[in-house]
């Protein structure tokens, strides 16, 4: 049974499961799936200042969202620590060769340790990737009116043109970082 949870699930199982979350949330309580709104509710609950963006009734708007965030963190912990697969991540040889050409050599975990480690955070490229990248993701999610999960799963399911534009922007941004920024940083 534990192997079933540790091994990657095929796309034709996980895709429909994720896709079913959208109508279930809408039918059960008129809720939309997304993470960036949850971050706003968390900040509104924890920010003592008078920042206008966080001045609303977060208890009414987002109490379920806080449970969603806590469940996401707990699920990530369980999935990443207790149920982690000891086998290396299976990525294509072409990807390995391209990453090695950029100086990334350690593929022992879910993320390349050459980029994502506490030790690398003290280097300029590592600090740039973590801090600037995190800021750009947060700013982009707010500017786009939602995060990748909200737009790609809920927005596209609702046939929202703005979500299509946002998802295209997310993918184009990812490609630009991969092919233009990472080669400079590494």
Burial class of residue 142, CB neighbours in 10 A (0-12, 13-18, 19+)? middle
Q: What is this structure's pTM?
A: 0.59
Q: Evaluate whether 122 touches 136 at the Cβ level (below 8 Å).
A: no
Mean pLDDT over 31-45 rounds to: 75
Model confidence at 13, in pLDDT bands (50, 70, 90)? very high
For the chain, what is the total number of helices (H) and then of strands (E)? 11, 0
Q: Which residue in 29, 69, 25, 30 sits closest to 46, CA to CA?
A: 69
Q: Looking at the predicted structure, is the pLDDT value of residue 1 above 70? A: no
Average pLDDT along the chain: 80
- DSSP letter string over 153-184? IIIHHTT-HHHHHHHHHHHHHHHHIIIIIHHH
Model confidence at 74, in pLDDT bands (50, 70, 90)? very high
For residue 148, give the H/E element and its range.
helix 148-149
Model confidence at 126, in pLDDT bands (50, 70, 90)? confident
Q: Which residue in 118, 98, 97, 96 sits closest to 107, CA to CA?
A: 96
For residue 120, give the H/E element and its range.
none
How high is the pLDDT of residue 7?
76
How high is the pLDDT of residue 172?
92
Q: Is the dihedral of CA 13, 163, 149, 114 positive or negative?
A: positive
What's 118's DSSP letter?
T
Mean pLDDT over 29-38 rounds to: 74
Percent of the chain with pLDDT over 70: 95
Q: Looking at the predicted structure, is the pLDDT value of residue 12 above 90? A: yes
What residue segments make up the domains of the chain, in order of their start? 1-84, 115-186
């Amino acid at each position: 049974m534990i192997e079933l949870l540790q091994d990657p699930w095929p796309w034709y199982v996980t895709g429909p499961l994720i896709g079913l979350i959208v109508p279930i949330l809408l039918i059960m309580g008129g809720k939309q799936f997304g993470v960036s709104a949850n971050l706003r509710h968390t900040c509104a609950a924890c920010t003592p200042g008078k920042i206008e963006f966080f001045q609303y009734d977060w208890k009414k708007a987002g109490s379920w969202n806080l449970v969603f965030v806590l469940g996401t963190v707990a699920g990530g912990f369980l999935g990443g620590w207790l149920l982690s697969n000891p086998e290396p991540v299976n990525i294509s040889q072409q990807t390995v060769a391209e990453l090695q050409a950029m100086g990334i050599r350690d593929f022992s975990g879910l993320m390349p340790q050459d980029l994502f480690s506490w030790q690398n955070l003290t280097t300029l490229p590592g600090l740039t990737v973590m801090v600037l990248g995190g800021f750009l993701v947060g700013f982009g999610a707010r500017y786009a009116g939602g995060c990748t999960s909200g737009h790609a799963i809920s927005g596209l399911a609702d046939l929202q043109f703005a979500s299509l534009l946002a998802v295209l922007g997310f993918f184009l941004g990812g490609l630009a970082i991969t092919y233009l920024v990472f080669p400079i940083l590494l």
